Amino acid sequence: MSGPLEGITVLDMSRVLAGPWAGQLLADLGARVIKIEHPKRGDDTRGWGPPWLAEHLEKGQDDAERVAAYFLCANRGKQSLAVDIATEGGQELVRSLAKGADILLENFKVGGLARYGLDYASLRAINPRLIGCSVTGFGQDGPYAHRAGYDFMIQAMGGLMSLSGEPDGMPMKTGVAITDVMTGLYAAVGVLAALQERARTGRGQHIDLALLDVQVATLANQALNALVEGQSPQRHGNAHPNIVPYQAFACADGHLVLTVGNDTQFTRFADMLGHPEWAEDPAYATNAARVGNREVLVSLIQPILLERDRDDWLNEMEARGIPAGPINTLTEVFDDPQVRHRGLRRTLPSGDLEVPQVANPLRFDGKSATSEVAPPRLGQDSDAILAEMGLTRDDIARLRRAGVVR
């Protein structure tokens, strides 16, 4: 599909989630993204199932054709070139592609691509306009640079888990690999900035992006809470460290999330509960006072909310302009009227299959920036890309017999 990045070519040599997430975003924005994968196993996440897109393999297919839902979440809009970069022939193919590429995405360990002569410095020597983005666990330098990094351990090391979970329970990770996703977003931002810089200078540059750096940078208000107070914030479960009442509450038949963000909203909330005097009480009149008297105020609110069903409360809060919402399962999310209206659930055709997708949230002039091309099968575009590079059918067949490409 066309888009703001039409005419930009990306070599996506990344795997798993952070790098591929960035590549998918660039594809959604109109870039041509060529995903470089190992001919036999492809991206690691192709095998991270169940669930699988197709449970039953056709006769003659191998496991690489049984694609996991995990792979499908981050590889929309890409072409797949299955090439073994450990071979001289494979290395030459990647170098040839790099000559005409604009962006290189990779998440090999530090120095991992250098042994193949495919690191950014080597490729920039043949294409000074190339922009490189290296995603690693800990960055290109420092005492941990040699370590592998995965989202879960980075959430732990980067402090996020210390903030998640009930105060008297075990520290918890998030239900989504949020550090990987945020790193993918930062990668896309960095690449777009480098493209703008290249428009002025004519030269590319290298972006060094670490999961740990992203995790620490996205601690947001909690990081500043720690730096200002000089001590580590404590876990508050579903409550907010700086706003009250801003947490989950039990109702007669379930739970809701209440997010009272200012004193005016609290006044309306107190009136709804039949206690307008709370808004005038110095102990609760301001957010700072409510934070200081959190336990007492919550103990007053909770028994009242238990008197009625969740949806009864939510309807009244909606009418009074008090922000609150249900705790939806993912099935309920995709059935939600607003989510349905915004078209966030998509399907893309791929052969005889319909591939489920979640739309890109960006809209340009009312049009969703979501690629209409389904995530590729392993090596799906190898022949077309190689032919475009000038290789003949005989050349491609020879490379295939040698195991260089799939």
Per-residue pLDDT tens digits of the chain, which is 406 residues long: 579 999 999 999 999 999 999 999 999 999 999 999 999 999 999 999 999 997 544 544 555 567 899 999 999 999 999 999 999 999 999 999 999 999 999 999 999 999 999 999 999 999 999 999 999 999 999 999 999 999 999 999 999 999 999 999 999 999 999 999 999 999 999 999 999 999 999 999 999 999 999 999 999 999 999 999 999 999 999 999 999 999 999 999 999 999 999 999 999 999 999 999 999 999 999 999 999 999 999 999 999 999 999 999 999 999 999 999 999 999 999 999 999 999 999 999 998 889 999 999 999 999 999 999 999 999 999 999 999 999 999 999 999 999 999 9
Rg (CA), the chain: 25
Q: Looking at domain 9-218+343-402, what is its CATH homologous superfamily?
A: Crotonobetainyl-coa:carnitine coa-transferase; domain 1 (3.40.50.10540)
pTM for this predicted structure: 0.93
pLDDT of residue 352: 85
What's the pLDDT score for residue 59?
44
Residue from 12, 102, 180, 213 carrying the catalytic annotation: 180
pLDDT at 67: 87
Burial class from Cβ neighbours inside 10 Å (0-12, 13-18, 19+) for residue 378 reads: buried
Measured CA to CA, the distance from residue 164 to residue 169 in angstroms comes to: 10
Stretch (H or E) spanning 267:
helix 263-272
Domain with CATH 3.30.1540.10 in the chain: 246-328
Give the Cα separation of 182 and 186 in Å (integer).
Answer: 6
Strand 363-364 vs strand 345-350: parallel, antiparallel, or unpaired?
unpaired
Q: Where are the alpha helices (DSSP H) in 115-219?
A: 120-126, 151-157, 160-163, 178-201, 211-217
Between the CA of residue 66 and those of 58, 174, 354, what are the distances in Å? Answer: 10, 28, 14
CATH architecture entry for 246-328: 2-Layer Sandwich (3.30)
Distance of alpha carbon 56 from alpha carbon 68, whole angstroms: 12
Residue 351: CA count within 13 A, CB half-sphere: 8
pLDDT at 57: 47
CA distance 31 to 280: 57
Q: Which residues of the chain are in CATH 3.40.50.10540 domains? A: 9-218+343-402
Kindly report the backbone phi and psi dihedral angles of residue 260, in degrees, each rounded to the nearest multiple of 5, phi listed first. -80, 110
Backbone phi and psi for residue 397, each to the nearest 5 degrees, phi listed first: -60, -40
Which pLDDT value is given to residue 56? 47
**Which of 166, 142, 149, 258 is closest to 214 using CA atoms?**
149
Distance CA 196, CA 104 (A): 16
| 284 CB-near residues (< 8 Å, 6+ apart) | 266, 270, 278, 290, 293, 297
Question: Which run of H or of E encompasses 385?
Answer: helix 382-388
Residue 180 appears among annotated catalytic residues: yes
